[in-house]
Amino acid sequence: MIGGAAFAVLSIVAAFAASPLMLIVARALLGVAGATRAPSTLALITNMFRYERQRGQAIAIWATCQFTGGALGPVLAGFLLQHFWWGSVFLVAVPAMVLLLLAGPVLLPEFRSDQAGRLDCSHQWAWAWRSAPWPRRR
């Protein structure tokens, strides 16, 4: 839910960005907020659909929606850019995120594991350091 809230707020920030730097920072943070949503939706599907067949169908529907959005996104963005101002492409996500924030707590079950691990920050930082685009020696 935090990722959805951040995505909605950052979408508004990006839509009304006053400078290129502000837009770049908002887009980068939108990527982080968006990256929190995909794993949580898959975890939700895994917990909600206990039977393998149902889970497979749910994941197939989830993936179909992902790919359909990826295909229709540029078309919708082109339409918005042709008929409205450039910031409108960011505002499309806001109603969906507001719906998620309002309906999610009521409709989506909460799952907490007794065996939940803790975040290993040292390995996260090491992975981020190693994946950074550092200049390579030849």
Q: Are 45 and 18 in contact (CB under 8 A)?
A: no
Task: Write the pLDDT tens digit of every residue in 19-66.
Answer: 999 999 998 998 888 888 777 788 888 888 889 899 899 989 988 988
Q: What is the pLDDT of residue 116?
A: 66
Q: Is the pTM of this model over 0.85?
A: no
- pLDDT at position 50 is 84
Cβ count within 10 A of residue 10:
23
